[in-house]
Amino acid sequence: MNKGFKPSEKNLDEFQRYKYAIDQHSIVAITDKQGRITEVNDKFCQLSQYSREELIGQDHRIINSGHHTKEFFKDLYKTIHSGRVWKGEIKNRAKDGSFYWVATTITPLFNNEGDITSFIAVRTEITENKRIEKALSDSERKLQNANQQFKIATSAANIGIWERDLILNKTYLDKISCSLHGIKNKDSMKLSDKSWYDFIHPEDILRVRKNYEELLRSKNQFEINYRVIRKDQSLKYIKSYGIVERDEKGVALRMIGALIDETKQRQTEKILLEREENYRRENKLLEESQAVAKLGGWELDIETGNLYWTTETYRIHDTSPEEFNPTVDAGVGYFLPESKRIISEALEVAMSEGKGYDLILETYTTKGRKITVRTTCKVTFVDNKPAKLGGIFQDISDQVLKEDELKNAKEKAEENDRLKSAFLANMRHEIRTPLNAVIGFSKQLVNPETTETERKEFGRYVINGANQLLSLIEDITSFSLLETNQVHVNESEVNINQLLRDLEVQFKPEAETRGLNINLANALPDYESVINTDNSKLSRIITNLLSNALKFTHKGEIKFGYTVKETNLIFFVEDTGIGISPENKAKVFDSFQQADGSIRRTYGGTGLGLSICKGLIEVIGGKIWVESTLGKGSTFYFSIPFKQVVQTKELFANEELNSGIPTILIAEDQFINFHYLKVIFQKRFECDILHAANGEEAVKLFKSNPKIDLVLMDISMPIMDGFDAANLINQLNSEVPIIAQTGYDIESNEKYSPDIFSGYISKPIDQEKLFAKISIHVSID
């Protein structure tokens, strides 16, 4: 305890010197026993900003800052009044209200009796010290706070902290880092470089090591991801951040870093990725299956009118979202009229009454393709009111087509079944009839009582029956060959004019016995009528058609021939027979089909002829069709490729030039007359015969055949008569003899000139007279 300072007379001087020294350094105030200020030095005045006058007589409350408690001052007064010295730090307030701190020593002063007379307070300003002290304590507190916050943050974020002393080769892991590696805290200190790598996933070790070495060498910061396999074999995804501390020479001293556990994030990412992948896959599969099923969808927001189409719905409409903006009006607009009416009505009912639909309708696509669709609608309600419509939109055209095909196939199978039975029954009849004749009349042939005339007649019946059976067998064979695709084309050069003329000759007798005319009309001259085709098939087809024409015609005529149409020849067989009704027209070309049931009873037949014709024509690359009016007649047409043999003309000429046998041109419009002449010539001597159906043709043929030795010219012919034709031929070559043939008295005709004609022969032609005439000009032996 300090005793108060009591100056005596003798050391008063000394006291004055002390006082001076103290005044220079300290703030000094003297108060009386009551605490009233009796004296202050200049420093006091300066610091408190009060003048001496203002201070003298006041107590210390004038500079009280209010910072200290009552107890603080109580203790102070108690100390000094008990005669002891008080030391402490006081915060005061200056006149302008600013604060200042002072380190204070208050010493009681005593009189000779030892009573306290006054107090002397000596102060030193410590405001700056206080500020520094406060700042220090503030920053320490802040640091502590920050530390605490850091700890909270790292533990909340599950961030591990680690440190590696590169000098001591020691690794320190905090609690979280330990748990990330699945090791106990106490073991972490033992982690050497090697054992730390033991935790890293084998696939990541190399990368981590490379990064670590690079870091030590040149970098100061790093960030790396790797996987840790914990002791319990579980996997952790770690992100490691760190910095390297180096000494002034750049030698790495230690590394400090943070470990972030990204396992959850990675797992979530993985799950999300998987989900996304699954979603993508499912979406793709869905799209693919929708495309296969041609199944689209649609949705309509009733309020906004927004119409949504799925990708497939666009595709079904032959469009895409880039090309087309779907609206209800546009969508409905594509439906065919009847379907449009139905869908408009259904949509209206769906929107107003909330009733869905499931419809099969026909619509056009945006590219005008007609399709059949199934469209359904389900209604979604909001507040009991229809809000959204949606459903499927499926292109079922293929399905409908297949169903139709199946239906047709089924009907056809049933029909075939029926036809087969009918055919078998019919065949029995078709075979039995001629066979009966063959058997019956054969028996009569060997009967000795049969007369010679009868035998001849019966013989004809037998031959007839056998021929019928033969053609039936041929039909059946052809049919089965066609059915099994075993019929092949066998092309050769065929003169179709000749072929048709032969058929005319063949059918003429039967036509005549039945009182029918038969007429042939060939479109091309002979030298242009050579084509490449299958001779036997073509002949068979026309034969079949002519047989039918004869069979189904009772009076009138049968015309046949061909015309040229572009690259095809169109053959026709026209009759004035019973005709075919429109509904039976297509049917007659099917196998075993006849126009109707009565035909079989009246006309017999197997229903195979036309189907064979159709099959053969298709094999040689053509088509068959019929135009017919019931009761008036029919015209069967068929086309074949016109593969003309162009060198025909030259061929004709060359052949004749080389042959050395005479060539005779017969100009005759009546084919039968020409045929007659041809037959008698060729029976008598070897020659080549050319035919012209009129004068013009005769001139043409003459021009193109320099080897013609003789012309037999009919006078009355269409297009150009025999006089004019002979005149022109004579102008071309007056050496070639022209013999006129006529039914009239030619010599009285003014057009007749003996200079042009080498003679004439009257019709009906007498063979011998004819040969006599021509033998003058050509050799007939």
Binding site for ligand ADP (CB under 6 A): 548-549, 552, 575, 577-580, 588, 594-595, 599, 605-611, 634
The residue among 429, 468, 459 whose CA lies nearest residue 441 is: 459
Torsion angle (degrees, nearest 10) of CA 462, 467, 472, 476:
130
- CB-nearer residue toward ligand ADP: 108 or 577: 577
User: Where do the H-state alpha helices sit in 105-243?
Assistant: 127-156, 175-181, 185-188, 193-198, 202-217
CA angle 675, 677, 680 (to 5 degrees): 105
Nearest distance, CB of residue 556 and ligand ADP, angstroms: 12
Tokens representing residue 714 in the block = 């009919």
- CB-nearer residue toward ligand ADP: 326 or 561: 561
Burial of 166 (0-12, 13-18, 19+ CB in 10 A): middle
- CB-nearer residue toward ligand ADP: 316 or 550: 550
- CB-nearer residue toward ligand ADP: 160 or 609: 609
Give CA–CA dist 570/567, Å, rounded: 10
Burial of 24 (0-12, 13-18, 19+ CB in 10 A): exposed
Nearest distance, CB of residue 611 and ligand ADP, angstroms: 6
Work out whether the CA dihedral 580, 582, 583, 587 comes out positive or negative.
positive
584, 595 contact by CB (below 8 A): yes
337, 321 contact by CB (below 8 A): no
Nearest distance, CB of residue 612 and ligand ADP, angstroms: 7
DSSP-assigned states of every residue in 54-86: HHTT--GGGGB-S-S-HHHHHHHHHHHHTT--E
Nearest distance, CB of residue 683 and ligand ADP, angstroms: 35
Residue 36's SS3 state is coil
91, 73 contact by CB (below 8 A): no
Nearest distance, CB of residue 346 and ligand ADP, angstroms: 48
Nearest distance, CB of residue 626 and ligand ADP, angstroms: 8
Q: What are phi and psi of 593, to 5 degrees?
A: -100, 135
Q: Given the structure tokens 């024509």, which residue do they identify?
A: 617
Nearest distance, CB of residue 625 and ligand ADP, angstroms: 13
Strand 116-125's sheet: what is its strand order?
Answer: 37-40, 27-32, 116-125, 99-110, 86-93
Give CA–CA dist 40/43, Å, rounded: 8
- CB-nearer residue toward ligand ADP: 578 or 689: 578
- CB-nearer residue toward ligand ADP: 336 or 435: 435
- CB-nearer residue toward ligand ADP: 147 or 629: 629
Nearest distance, CB of residue 355 and ligand ADP, angstroms: 54
Nearest distance, CB of residue 628 and ligand ADP, angstroms: 7
487, 621 contact by CB (below 8 A): no
318, 296 contact by CB (below 8 A): no
89, 104 contact by CB (below 8 A): yes
Give CA–CA dist 769/781, Å, rounded: 15
- Beta pairing partners, 124: 103
- Beta pairing partners, 101: 91
- CB-nearer residue toward ligand ADP: 613 or 746: 613
* DSSP secondary structure code for residue 35 in this structure: S
- CB-nearer residue toward ligand ADP: 606 or 758: 606
- CB-nearer residue toward ligand ADP: 106 or 608: 608
Nearest distance, CB of residue 593 and ligand ADP, angstroms: 6
> Distance of CA 772 to CAs 213, 233, 677, 746, 765, Å?
130, 127, 14, 19, 12
- CB-nearer residue toward ligand ADP: 434 or 607: 607
Nearest distance, CB of residue 377 and ligand ADP, angstroms: 51
Nearest distance, CB of residue 546 and ligand ADP, angstroms: 9
- CB-nearer residue toward ligand ADP: 503 or 610: 610
Give CA–CA dist 252/217, Å, rounded: 8
- CB-nearer residue toward ligand ADP: 83 or 604: 604
Nearest distance, CB of residue 548 and ligand ADP, angstroms: 3
Burial of 658 (0-12, 13-18, 19+ CB in 10 A): exposed
- CB-nearer residue toward ligand ADP: 561 or 577: 577
Nearest distance, CB of residue 623 and ligand ADP, angstroms: 16
Tokens representing residue 647 in the block = 């060198």
Give CA–CA dist 616/479, Å, rounded: 10
- CB-nearer residue toward ligand ADP: 321 or 631: 631
Nearest distance, CB of residue 429 and ligand ADP, angstroms: 12
- CB-nearer residue toward ligand ADP: 297 or 604: 604
The residue among 392, 397, 431 whose CA lies nearest residue 604 is: 431
Say if residue 764 is preceded by a cis peptide, omega within 30 of 0.
yes
- CB-nearer residue toward ligand ADP: 92 or 634: 634
Nearest distance, CB of residue 662 and ligand ADP, angstroms: 42
| β-pair type (37-40, 710-714) | unpaired
| β-pair type (633-641, 663-667) | unpaired
- Beta pairing partners, 749: none
- Beta pairing partners, 531: 494, 644
Residues sharing a CB contact under 8 Å with residue 375, sequence separation 6 or more, in sequence order: 298, 343, 357, 358, 359, 361, 391, 392, 393, 394
Residues sharing a CB contact under 8 Å with residue 44, sequence separation 6 or more, in sequence order: 27, 28, 29, 55, 123
Nearest distance, CB of residue 585 and ligand ADP, angstroms: 9
Nearest distance, CB of residue 542 and ligand ADP, angstroms: 13
- CB-nearer residue toward ligand ADP: 339 or 426: 426
